[in-house]
Structure 1
């Protein structure tokens, strides 16, 4: 059976484990005065912000996820994981580690430390005590950074789930992704853009080095971002959004039945085949009649594409764009779109894509955003763009990163994709 967060937590619930989990994080009854002093000392002396910065530094290297260097680094990681897995891998984390955080003093902390040592997040030690100390806080944050999770130092649900994935599953990910990276790394140019779907992230690469990294939002499981190779050829500033028929059918009709003012609130206009504008009351929303019309959202703060659309030819009608809902970039699982890719700090990426045009510095990009002016700009030197599916990679520091198999491609053993 494929391991997933849902199946893992369901099995725990069946065993009565979920009800017991929050107790770990509650006040620790029966602690001695010395236990409380020790816990308070740890809380006072630990610089959590510094630990977060140190954890993030382990993954912030210049190697692109798609590169010859990453293929080599993956080979090294496989060489380390194979004997470890053959020897039995890491122990499965007990349910009692759920909720642990800095200052906790419990027997379950010992199991947590052993798990973090076995994956290299915590330095090995001959003796392991029961205190969730500063070193353990850093180790949990290291683990979270490597797995693309919110770095908060707590063994929360996503962290617990990631720790529960067996070492042999991680080794299989490394092997599959080595093949994926090797399949494309030899064909890459000196300058290209990559969106890695499982990581929900984008990288801008020049001369084998990452010059920009961006958090992204990508397609949800039932509306996947396709794997493709193309070239960015046009930037649309403050675009109209023409609502795809699939979204009209799956979403817009439902929204209008829930709130008849939805189209008005979000400045979406309706047009028939001759370009005549219709009123929302002209349509029977209890049927699929709406798919026969064109829906266009005006430029502005409410526009679903935000201030910019990044175009590249593809048969799936997908693109990259800005978004008004920037809170989504702060989530662990950023799989919310209907296939298109929303890019955080997109102004910097647009500036990079228009570098060959010569007259588009960051200030001008930002000013054009703020103006709400409709403007289409041709990219003079079209930039290759690759969407890809990499769930495991390694960098030159020896840090190995993993992501969830969101589209089930690892479980299917897929190493090549139609693009």
Structure 2
């Protein structure tokens, strides 16, 4: 088989349309050995895409060992299926039954982890011969990604590489086909833990999906993805940055009401208490001023305060309010998306987009950073007189300060879905980053 051949599959499943056929056979997996599909049925499963996913879709290099491939994949995820698609409820019920069978058969084997700071050439990948390779085959056979007949070979061949890529894509990892430390940690989450996650998340899906409107935006926190959805079909998927575990992004359901182009940043309470004031005290000891360095203004009673007059050792949250004018240092970038909520959170651009190319993107103070946010803005403003993608690009280029209210508010949901299945039978898992699934740290640390 040509290892460079492009594949027409996607990380989140195929383009929608064959749900009834797939579910009629019960994922096929239920009629085989706890997740193993027959060869004929396996050809109907789709998992990832290394080529264009449409005229406006990302294009990935076929060299999956190239770090640029990982960055491109993470920053520009394929559209796939909507996380809150109605079909996902029945699909996830089927996945619960599938994983109940897997657990009943004893689960899957554990893969030995590579030692710390392992050289790249000693990781399991195409061409490796090692006893652990046979364990990897058995592990992927148990959950259904490896569909070959030879589950005992110690040689890492093309068939196993494809199986590992399928697994990685369905578990929120860039499908490199290399069994690195992070991938092995995900593989080693026990089957009974994955079953518990599916059951917990089935309830979440059953609560969230019926509440979705015809047109909505959803942020799935564990996946760090933002989806624009219309009439049940996903229009676009964007990489995002979500809150750190110590500053979690809240769950919410509220309409998006307005957009601020080239906005002023009004520092939220968490940033003031946990970042600005400690940094102010630290810099003051060095004879520096945090407000001057970062171009932040402090106000008391609505009046601007001389930054040099502030003694940071005496400042407490509530002493002042703070804001930062639009510019290169402004962490909101050129766009802020607003919605009513009690948590002082919002969605926004960022002046630095390198973080979107990382796999783990739980780095904010609770707000959501959105990659390619101008495309999301164009979708939100679609049909609104005077607004188009070119107008948004012009506003960005000129640094024009504008506030725009949506004539038709768009529903927004922040959800926590860490395990689900899509209508093509693909079972998805993401890190339980806030440990909400009741399973401890086992599925949050990779």
Same fold, TM exceeding 0.5? Answer: yes
The answer to whether the aligner puts 1:58 opposite 2:47 as a matched pair is: yes
Write the mapping of 1:206-245 to structure 2, written as runs, cut at 5 A.
Answer: 206-245=230-269
Equivalence for 2:377: 350
Cα deviations by residue, 1:255-294 (Å, 9 ceiling, x for unpaired)? 3345425433432222232422412x32222343575122
In the alignment, the residues of structure 1 paired with residue 8 and residue 107 of structure 2 have an alpha-carbon distance, to the nearest angstrom, of 27
Whether 1:408 aligns to 2:441 is no
Following TM superposition, by how much is the alpha carbon of 1:314 offset from its aligned partner in structure 2, in angstroms?
0.8
Cα deviations across residues 63-99 of structure 1 (Å, max 9, x unaligned)? Answer: 3211321111111212222112111111122235983
Partners in 2 of 1:276 and 1:126 — Cα distance? 72
Residue 215 of structure 1: how far off its partner (Å): 0.8
Which of 78, 82, 92 is 1:74 aligned to?
92
Match of 1:338 in 2: 365
SS at match of 1:288: coil
TM-score normalised to the size of structure 1? 0.82
Is 1:156 equivalent to 2:180 in the alignment?
yes
2:309 aligned with 1:282? yes
CA contact (8 A) 2:273 2:316 kept: no
Using a 3 Å threshold, how does the CA distance of structure 1 residues 135 and 63 change in structure 2: closer, same or farther?
same
Shift of 1:62: 4.7
Contact 1:150 1:331 in 2 (8 A): no
On the 8 A contact 2:114/2:181 being kept in 1, the answer is: no
- Equivalences, count: 368
| Secondary structure at the counterpart of residue 328 of structure 1 | helix
3-state SS in 1 of match to 2:413: strand
Indicate the RMSD between aligned Cα atoms, in angstroms. Answer: 2.4
How far off is 1:187 after superposition?
A: 2.3
Instruction: Give the SS at the match of 1:296.
Output: strand
CA contact (8 A) 2:243 2:368 kept: yes
- What are the superposed Cα offsets for residues 379-417 of structure 1, whole Å, 9 maximum, x if unpaired? 00000101111011111221111011111211179xxxx
Distance 1:126 1:152, change over 3 A: closer
- Bigger fraction of residues in helix: 1
Structure 2 residue 319 is matched with structure 1 residue 292: yes
1:363 equivalenced with 2:387 (yes/no): no
Which segments of 5 or more consecutive residues in structure 2 lack a partner in the other structure? 13-45, 49-77, 441-446
1:132–1:316 Cα change, 3 Å: same
Q: What do the CA deviations read for 1:331-364 (whole angstroms, capped 9, x no partner)?
A: 2221111111111110010011111413211111
Take 2:139 and 2:112, find their aligned partners in 1: how far apart are those partners? 10
Tell me, yes or no, if structure 1 residue 95 matches structure 2 residue 113: yes
Contact 1:63 1:70 in 2 (8 A): no
Change (3 A) 1:155 1:188: same
Question: Does structure 2 retain, via aligned residues, the 8 Å contact 1:256–1:262?
Answer: yes
After superposition, give the CA deviation of every residue in 1:1-25 in whole Å (9 maximum; x if it has no partner). xxxxxxxxxxxxxxxxxxxxxxxxx
Q: Are the equivalent residues in 2 in contact too, given 1:146–1:399 (CA < 8 A)?
A: yes
For residue 138 of structure 1, give the secondary structure of its aligned residue in structure 2.
helix
Q: Which moved more, 1:92-101 or 1:372-381?
A: 92-101
Counterpart position of 2:341: 314
Measure, in 2, the Cα distance between the counterparts of 1:159 and 1:290. Answer: 42
What secondary structure sits across from 1:142 in the alignment?
Answer: helix
Shift of residue 52, structure 1, vs aligned partner: 10
State the alpha-carbon separation in 1 of the partners of residues 192 and 161 from structure 2. Answer: 26
TM-score by length of 2: 0.77
How far, CA to CA, are the matches of 2:155 and 2:227 in structure 1? Answer: 39
SS at match of 2:184: helix
Cα gap change, 1:135/1:350 in structure 2, threshold over 3 Å: closer, same or farther?
A: same
Gaps of 5+ in 1: 1-41, 414-419
Distance 1:135 1:287 in 2: 64
